[in-house]
Structure 1
Amino acid sequence: MGLCANGTLLTHDQDSYADDALPRHFPQQEYAWRSDQLSACTPGRRRQPDMTGSRTEIPSTTGVTTGVKPVRVKRSSRNLRRMIAILENIEYGALEIVLPSGRLVTCKGTGKGPEASLIIKDADAADHVFSRGAIGAADAYMSYDWDSPDLVALLELMARNRTAFEPLRRGGMLYRLKNRIRQKLHLGGSKGRARRFAGHYELPNRFFECWLDPEMVYSAATYGLGNDLAAAQKAKLHRICTQLGLKQGMKLLEINCGWGSLSVLAARDYGCDVTALTLSETQLETCRLRAHGHRQDNKVDFRLEDFSAITGTYDRIISVEPFGMMTEADWPNFFATISGHLAEDGLAYVETTTIRDELFDSYRNSLDPVREYIFPGSLLPSYGILDDVVRDAGLTEAGYADIGGTYVPTLKVWQRRFQTMWPEIMMLGFDNDFKRSWELFLAYAEAGFRTGDLTLREMLLAKGETGSSG
């Protein structure tokens, strides 16, 4: 037991500090928790915020000398102070931070931007962030060390204040070194793709059925006025078929066919003879059942096969969102395969999420929660790099469009359906860590498309020099 500088009694095991030990930028006011925040943030497994008004979580980093030995502030408290000081440097929008004690810190930029709230439930969250960057922040979220009533707004604010948040995103030096080594060890080729595919798409079909549309289309929908998700996804499938000019008797190849809706539609409504590839046994079973249900067994050949095993020539080739399963080394082989198996007068449709060119190097050399938990080992291309790889494969863009805006309403619907169906999803054997990892994935993606850091690019590819048009 000893005395603080202001005479306050302090025991060695007491996690409490006086007001004048707080840095000046922490306002000396209490925060009344709003009911909407309390209802939006699920109570965590970690300790809940102290509602008594004690100001114990943001102590001074100065050792307090007692009559026996100095009492040192634990690292999490020091890191929390550092983190708050960094967050105060935002340039756009506003951020309300609720500290573990229930106190409020407000950070405001000079420019317009999202308004978001960050509720820190445990000071250990700061330790996770400074040691392992974005992955540490994700782990802390899944452990309920922090929360937000509007996760998309918070992630969008972080994206728009990239410079301010950079020290928090990158993590410690040792962690960054380990990340680079890990990424170099990720397997390319068919074995690596099969492993990554299994980690995502071998989840029970019922999991995806709970929140996707009845056709189980796992990409951005084409919304019109008043369209619901089911109608919007059907519109998307027909739009792809129309863009390719599908006709009776055409030989069509679909790479990464998902649960088979597009292949079955192309056979049933457009008369194509379809070969469709997946690396998921679970998907393959659903695909064949779908074809049988629509009496298209003799028109669609679903195969458990990697694109590297393709034989023959096709009038049309389709691949929607294939890069979630690929490393950077796979990209040239993918487009070379399309070029090698596309008829001379054929067309290919490729749709993929891309990242902004100026962000690519940083993205490539670090990890984010999506690449850690949802699509392990994958890498999205940038716009410019995608152009280079396509050209090197002997293909040219006969047409292209950026349709990233269509992902925002789609992701909103997916998130809402995911939350509504969570009780049923939980019965499949998934826990709250799984739930929060997918919440983070869906919010992370929506924020990326909102800010333009991500976009969805669709390309019509042909052989030879046909020129391109938007």
Structure 2
Amino acid sequence: MAGAAPRLHALAGRVLGTPLPVRLRAWDGSEAGPPGAPALVIRHRRALRRLLWRPGELGLARAWVAGEIDVDGDLYALLDLIAGFLWESGDSGDSDEGASRRGLLALARDPAVRAAARELVALAGPWPPPPPPPEEARGRGGLRHTRRRDRVAVSHHYDVGNDFYALVLGPSMVYSCAYWEPGGTLEGAQRAKLDLICRKLGLRPGMRLLDVGCGWGSLALHAARAYGVDVVGVTLSREQAGHARKRIAEEGLTDRVEIRVQDYREIPDGPYDAIASVGMAEHVGAERYREYAEVLHRLLRPGGRLLNHQIARRPVADEAAYAVDDFIDAYVFPDGELAPLGRTVALLEEAGLEVRDVDVLREHYALTLRAWVRNLERGWADAVRLVSPGRARVWRLYMAASALAFEHNRIGVNQVLAVRTTPDGESRLPLRPRLWGG
């Protein structure tokens, strides 16, 4: 009987209707597929049980996180090759049992693949499938984007250890798209991004800046140090807040920068002269975005500026059918949602803000993610020690796949500058604001 890899390669071609463009290397040592192509290594047939039980992206992701599949060769190249037909077969986000029934019933109803399904079941081995890897998000009962559930979601992503984030992000501890120049470094690009934000906001000594989703405090520190402003930073992550406070104390800026563990909906002490929200709005959710925009409008002084830095997805024909990516939702950003740029701009304006500038930084995020992946791969042994093998694998897959998504224009990232005009309609922006001089 042929080895597992040739059988699986033939099965995949029959089910997909086209030859699989990658090599397969199976647990029994057999190989099949185009010579020289990157290889998908199936270390254990448990991976097949995961795919049969949860067809599509989540089953594949669980096998990856558990270490049951791996890549031999260029990860980016393999993801590019398989994205077109494996990722598009993702799930609808409901229960494992319901999804597995639909996947298996679809196979059973299609005469062309019934034989392939029987052979795959035989290769997969005894049922049931193993439980999901422990890195999968837990404890998300109740309505989405309540304050309690948002705290749980944020903790899953950010409270995994500041040392791990330092390894991935580098000394800047900035977890958002950098602003690159040709031949630049990650640290230089992150400094340039922080300064660009401060200049767009027109910061001057004595102003009050609110940093919504302040992370590890890098923007707050830069604004206080370089522009002489007083800063309040808010985050739901206790680990981030603790790290940020330590940095602020070390720089002697505790009288200028305050870091709070606080939901943006609970900030009581506006108005502020300027607000920055960088990489935070993706956590808000579609049903809460209008409220988010209204809260920021209320917290902003008339004539003040808002800088909203946010990842966007491409519009789809049926927006009501948009579903959150299964892998990202289960392992990376629980309850995170992306919206098209046009919808974000519309909601900001519906809340009373005037959008004055949109800066598209899509290619910059691809460069940033590739730099983070290099950091992770160079420090792999330390990353595994600091978190877990599964968590490190989540991050490697997530960041590499995201880099490709930015490069291929499946997602983008934009800095939207908006103002709360004065009662008589003044924006208090210069006539040529893109000089960003104040």
Change (3 A) 1:122 1:425: closer
Q: Does 1:401 align with 2:359?
A: yes
Which residue of structure 2 lines up, in the alignment, with residue 154 of structure 1? 78
SS in structure 1 at match of 2:335: coil
SS in structure 2 at match of 1:330: helix
Q: What code does the residue aligned with 2:238 have?
A: E
Q: Report if the CA contact (8 A) 1:188-1:327 is conserved.
A: yes
- Unmatched 5+ residue regions in structure 2? 101-138
Change (3 A) 1:172 1:339: closer
Q: CA deviation at 1:56?
A: 4.5
Q: What code does the residue aligned with 2:53 have?
A: S
Q: Within 5 Å, which residues of 2 pair with 1:345-384?
A: 345-358=303-316, 361=319, 364-384=322-342
Aligned counterpart for 1:413 among listed residues 358, 364, 371: 371
Change (3 A) 1:347 1:373: same
Q: CA deviation at 1:206?
A: 0.9
Q: Report if the CA contact (8 A) 1:134-1:369 is conserved.
A: yes
SS in structure 1 at match of 2:22: strand
Q: Report if the CA contact (8 A) 1:116-1:157 is conserved.
A: no
Q: Does 1:85 align with 2:14?
A: yes
Aligned counterpart for 1:95 among listed residues 21, 32, 38: 21
- Between the aligned partners of 1:249 and 1:411, the Cα distance in structure 2 is 35
SS in structure 2 at match of 1:353: strand
Query: Bigger CA drift: 376-385 or 142-151?
Result: 142-151
- Between the aligned partners of 2:403 and 2:88, the Cα distance in structure 1 is 23
Q: What code does the residue aligned with 1:55 have?
A: G
- Between the aligned partners of 1:167 and 1:126, the Cα distance in structure 2 is 18
Which residue of structure 1 lines up, in the alignment, with residue 90 of structure 2? 169
Q: CA deviation at 1:116?
A: 5.1
Q: Does 1:197 align with 2:158?
A: no
Aligned length: 384
Q: CA deviation at 1:166?
A: 6.2
Task: Specify which structure has the bigger relative contact order, considering alpha-carbon pairs within 8 angstroms and separated by 6 or more residues.
Answer: 2
Q: What code does the residue aligned with 2:185 have?
A: D
Identity fraction in percent: 26
Which residue of structure 2 lines up, in the alignment, with residue 208 of structure 1? 165
- Between the aligned partners of 1:259 and 1:448, the Cα distance in structure 2 is 26
Scaled by the length of structure 1, what TM-score is found?
0.73
Which residue of structure 1 lines up, in the alignment, with residue 399 of structure 2? 442
Q: CA deviation at 1:337?
A: 0.7
- Between the aligned partners of 2:48 and 2:379, the Cα distance in structure 1 is 32
Q: CA deviation at 1:303?
A: 1.1
Which residue of structure 2 lines up, in the alignment, with residue 323 of structure 1? 281
Change (3 A) 1:129 1:183: farther
Q: Within 5 Å, which residues of 2 pair with 1:41-440?
A: 54-56=2-4, 81-87=10-16, 89=18, 95-100=21-26, 102-106=30-34, 117-132=39-54, 133-148=56-71, 149-159=73-83, 161=84, 164-165=85-86, 168-170=89-91, 175=96, 185-311=142-268, 312-358=270-316, 361=319, 364-428=322-386, 430-440=387-397
SS in structure 1 at match of 2:12: helix
Which residue of structure 2 lines up, in the alignment, with residue 36 of structure 1? none
SS in structure 2 at match of 1:170: coil
- Deviation sequence 1:55-112 (CA, Å, 0-9, x none): 35555xxxxxxxxxxxxxxxxx6xx75433344538xxx82222525332349xxxxx
Change (3 A) 1:118 1:303: same
SS in structure 2 at match of 1:358: coil
Q: CA deviation at 1:146?
A: 2.8
Query: Bigger CA drift: 97-106 or 419-428?
Result: 97-106
Q: CA deviation at 1:193?
A: 1.6
Q: Report if the CA contact (8 A) 1:400-1:469 is conserved.
A: no
Change (3 A) 1:389 1:337: same
Larger radius of gyration: 1
- Between the aligned partners of 1:167 and 1:284, the Cα distance in structure 2 is 38
Change (3 A) 1:243 1:324: same
Q: Report if the CA contact (8 A) 1:86-1:165 is conserved.
A: no
Scaled by the length of structure 2, what TM-score is found?
0.78
Q: CA deviation at 1:447?
A: 1.6
- Between the aligned partners of 1:365 and 1:203, the Cα distance in structure 2 is 26
Q: CA deviation at 1:299?
A: 1.0
Which residue of structure 2 lines up, in the alignment, with residue 20 of structure 1? none
Q: Report if the CA contact (8 A) 1:131-1:172 is conserved.
A: no
SS in structure 2 at match of 1:354: strand
- Between the aligned partners of 1:172 and 1:433, the Cα distance in structure 2 is 21
Change (3 A) 1:395 1:346: same
Q: CA deviation at 1:142?
A: 2.3
- Between the aligned partners of 1:338 and 1:56, the Cα distance in structure 2 is 57
- Between the aligned partners of 1:283 and 1:172, the Cα distance in structure 2 is 30
- Between the aligned partners of 1:266 and 1:415, the Cα distance in structure 2 is 28
- Between the aligned partners of 2:220 and 2:42, the Cα distance in structure 1 is 47
Change (3 A) 1:178 1:379: farther
- Between the aligned partners of 1:417 and 1:106, the Cα distance in structure 2 is 31
Query: Bigger CA drift: 370-379 or 137-146?
Result: 137-146
- Unmatched 5+ residue regions in structure 1? 1-16, 18-53, 60-76, 108-114
- Between the aligned partners of 2:318 and 2:377, the Cα distance in structure 1 is 32
- Deviation sequence 1:353-372 (CA, Å, 0-9, x none): 11111288498435421221
Which residue of structure 1 lines up, in the alignment, with residue 125 of structure 2? none
Q: CA deviation at 1:443?
A: 1.3
SS in structure 2 at match of 1:334: helix
